[in-house]
Structure 1
């Protein structure tokens, strides 16, 4: 089959398809004309949001009335034009942070956990030494705290 034959059959098939679609549209229009009247769009319903209960009617704000808009705008512009003078400048808030402040912040949480674990481990070591009966309580506590300080 040559390319011209392929193109010819494709165009014929496309024309047949178009004819079938047009026939279906005509058939559909005929059916719609006979059975269904023209549909109207629904009309919107405007609702009043004013309360019907007497106790709620008292709390309703009055409708806005037009006022002197230009005077209001001028007042706001004047208020915005005045510059506020800062009497005292806190340099601690303006000082830049160290480059690793965020890393320290994230690591602090983990260090707190490790600190608690370290304290528990020291307490366990003290208990173990007391059970062995090696030394009295004060010397065992002093040895535990000295070893903790040496690690830091």
Structure 2
């Protein structure tokens, strides 16, 4: 039963604190409200400013703003036109930059890496086939390579003479 007594005491203490807080808030608000009431009659309300509306009442016509006059922009336009004129004369025009790209340029770009791999594999396969033929024929690899190099040199010399 002692626990019930402590609960009642704590409930009473809590009620006292809440009442004190309510009273304190009421006391703090009282001067503000009295001051608001006193200043309310003296305080002037903001007056409307009419920018595009022309009031009919004579007392409100004092609050209209004068019509805005447009600025002279001819000087600004002249300076911008002079600044935009280029004095550089382009002698050469790069036609590559002017010509449109072909419709399949992106496909070629994407396939280029795959084609490089295939090209390397093709070269290896050709070299392997040549080695197999040379082994079957029984000729020495070094002799065939030397014969090919001398044959190429002879062909280049003939081309230079023409």
| TM-score normalized by the length of structure 1 | 0.34
Name the structure, 1 or 2, with higher relative contact order (CA <8 Å, separation 6+): 1
